[in-house]
Amino acid sequence: MTVYLVGAGPGDPALLTLRGAEVLAGADVVVYDRLSVASLLDLAPAHAERISVGKQPGGPRTSQEDINALLVARGRAGQQVVRLKGGDPFVFARGGEEAAALAAAGIAFEVVPGITSAVAVPAYAGIPVTMRYSSTSFTVVTGHEDPAKGEASVNWEAVAALGGTVVVLMGAARCRAICERIIAGGMAPDTPAAAVQWGTRPNQRTLRATLATLADLDPQPPATIVIGEVAAADLAWFENRPLFGRCIVVTRAQPQATALAAKLRQRGAEAIEMPAIAFEPPEDLDRLVQAAAQVGRYDWVVFTSPTGVARFFEQLRDARSLGGVQVAAIGPGTAAALAERSVVADLVPEQYVAEALLEALSQGIGPDGPGRALIPRAETARDVLPDGLAAAGWEVDVVPAYRTVAPVPDPDAAALLDNAEVITFTSSSTVTNFVDTFGADAVPAVVATIGPITSATARNLGLEVAVEASEHTIDGLIAALEAFFAS
Ligand code: SAH
């Protein structure tokens, strides 16, 4: 079988190539480094063996000879091996040595180039490595060699003399000596210089200075250093996104947690998916089965969550039985779940809470007076809606469509919470379950909720609510977070 030397890109998992994702999906073994992004490992099948060869905290780094031997052994054993390497596998990454070892052993290998940090990290800092007329070349140099040795293999004077843009990888620790050598080589001390730390990641940080002053800012690895006129370019975009650098915990159930996390990441946040709620079938599924079979007897079916919609439609045998029935949705998320099933909600209240739904339904009563309503919903939920409808003369059947449970927390999850700045709650149960599981002290500083009911639950548990969505939807919650951090 083949050993793939795959470039993983500089950090943003979306910068893996399609070919890289393809070979990962078929991997038996993934051999990866310390800087690898954990979510890329998720692209390998669950059964794939994952072997870290990076330097472990407190442990030694696996030697290059041992890595080569590992790749040869696994390739010889007939496994599909993915050797995942930061950036591009052939740019300061010893991929050449690994390929040579494989070739010498007669093991088939393929190289999947990656997006190198030498170009992508400056790009994420808004620095183009070339500019027409002013910067007509870029030189990528290792800063790993000790420039003070004198006999170092990098000819810094020549690099300085060439002009253009100089990109230094692995140079954070020796930043001062490198800049001094380049100045000695004739480049002006006031040449713009930048160091981009943790580029393309949510914790990216760009230090801007000149060749003479960059070292004073004490850049920390991993950093890409850019020297030249282009380093003064002010084309920042990545760091300007509205939630850039915010670490936000998402407590919604899966798969909605992933959808919300993706939206937050798009706005620059680091999103931690920590579902505090999961859905299971109700204790008594029969009632839902019966209600779905006889849905034509109702005037209205009222949905109060996307999950209620999903569970109800799982039981609905024939869509035509809904033909004469009006359908209400508590908000746009629930209406969207209906639309996915080709049902257009007849009613969505202006405010997405039970009280507003009750009022809207009461106003919608036709000439025949109050009707019969079916409410398929969570086993435990507030009674505002059924009680209000009943009080107004409706005949109401509340049918449990699902049960919410608190998922067993991941033991590593608590550690992640330490770095989190914000937590989002999209329902009262997420608050209650989260506090039950982790304790109120573990709740990150900024609590953001989808609306007043969830906020009230949070306050009852002693939490201070900093952000509350005025439109009670996921997009409303995101907008409220953006507004909070903009002010
Ligand atoms: N093969 C890699 C380079 C490996 S050398 C590539 O093509 O990108 C490791 C060096 O790359 C680091 O010391 C740093 O200079 C740079 N680097 C890698 N990831 C980086 C990141 N996320 N931000 C800034 N620099 C990074």
Convert the pLDDT of each residue in 55-100 to its tens digit. 666 667 789 999 999 999 999 999 999 999 999 999 999 999 999 9
The candidate with the shortest Cα–Cα distance to 340, out of 377, 307, 291, is 307
Residue 241 covered by a domain: no
Q: Tell the residue nearest (CA) to atom 15 of ligand 1.
A: 169
Last residue of a domain, one of 387, 405, 423: 405
Same domain, 204 and 287: no
How many Cα atoms within 13 Å fall on the side-chain side of residue 25? 7
Rounded distance from Cα 230 to ligand 1 centre (Å): 19
Residue 64 covered by a domain: yes
Q: State pLDDT tens for residues 19-41.
A: 999 999 999 999 998 777 888 99
Residue 361 covered by a domain: yes
The candidate with the shortest Cα–Cα distance to 288, out of 306, 314, 324, is 314
Domain containing residue 339: CATH number: 3.40.50.10090
Last residue of a domain, one of 86, 115, 144: 115
Residue 193 covered by a domain: yes
Same domain, 30 and 144: no
pLDDT at 367 over 60: no
Q: List helix spans (H) across 231-369.
A: 256-266, 286-293, 306-315, 332-340, 354-363
Last residue of a domain, one of 405, 420, 452: 405
In the numeric block, which tokens belong to residue 153?
A: 């293999």
Cα→Cα distances 99→5, 75, 89, 342, Å: 8, 12, 10, 53
Residue 239 covered by a domain: no
- Residue 190's pLDDT is 97
Domain containing residue 175: CATH number: 3.30.950.10
Residue 286 covered by a domain: yes
Integer Cα distance of 172 and 221 in angstroms: 6
Same domain, 224 and 364: no
- Residue 477's pLDDT is 97
Integer Cα distance of 11 and 115 in angstroms: 10
- Residue 107's pLDDT is 97
Structure letter (DSSP) for residue 405: E
302 lines ligand 1 (CB under 6 A): no
pLDDT at 152 over 60: no
- Residue 39's pLDDT is 84
Matching residue, tokens 């905290």: 57
Same domain, 204 and 219: yes
202 lines ligand 1 (CB under 6 A): no
163 lines ligand 1 (CB under 6 A): no
Same domain, 419 and 363: no
Residue 131 covered by a domain: yes
In the numeric block, which tokens belong to residue 65?
A: 């000879």
What is the residue range of 419's domain?
247-277+407-486
3-state secondary structure (DSSP) of residue 183: helix
- Residue 243's pLDDT is 96
pLDDT at 136 over 80: yes
200 lines ligand 1 (CB under 6 A): yes
Same domain, 313 and 385: yes
Query: Best of 169, 220, 270 to mutate for ligand 1, by most ligand atoms within 8 A of CB?
Result: 169
Same domain, 299 and 370: yes
Name the band, by pLDDT with cuts 50, 70 and 90, for residue 380.
confident
Rounded distance from Cα 374 to ligand 1 centre (Å): 58
53: left (phi over 0), alpha (psi -120 to 50) or beta: alpha
Same domain, 285 and 373: yes
92 lines ligand 1 (CB under 6 A): yes
Integer Cα distance of 315 and 8 in angstroms: 44
- Residue 151's pLDDT is 53
Same domain, 189 and 97: no
196 lines ligand 1 (CB under 6 A): yes
Rounded distance from Cα 215 to ligand 1 centre (Å): 18
Name the band, by pLDDT with cuts 50, 70 and 90, for residue 109.
very high
For the chain, percent of residues with pLDDT exceeding 90: 79
Q: Mean pLDDT across the stretch 183-209?
A: 96
Domain containing residue 22: CATH number: 3.40.1010.10
Catalytic machinery residues = 33, 55, 170
Q: Mean pLDDT across the stretch 318-322?
A: 93
Integer Cα distance of 329 and 379 in angstroms: 18
| Cα maximum dimension of the chain | 96
For the chain, percent of residues with pLDDT exceeding 70: 96
Q: 13, 42 in Cβ contact below 8 A?
A: no
Rounded distance from Cα 29 to ligand 1 centre (Å): 24
- Residue 37's pLDDT is 81
- Residue 407's pLDDT is 83
Q: State pLDDT tens for residues 284-303.
A: 999 999 999 999 999 999 99
Residue 138 covered by a domain: yes
- Residue 365's pLDDT is 62
Integer Cα distance of 241 and 379 in angstroms: 40
Same domain, 262 and 353: no
Query: Best of 112, 207, 224, 226 to mutate for ligand 1, by most ligand atoms within 8 A of CB?
Result: 224
Same domain, 56 and 72: yes
Same domain, 46 and 60: yes
Q: 90, 113 in Cβ contact below 8 A?
A: yes
Instruction: Give the DSSP letter string of 274-288.
Output: ----EEE--S--HHH
Rounded distance from Cα 168 to ligand 1 centre (Å): 9
- Residue 147's pLDDT is 62
36 lines ligand 1 (CB under 6 A): no
- Into how many domains does the chain fold? 4
- Residue 400's pLDDT is 96
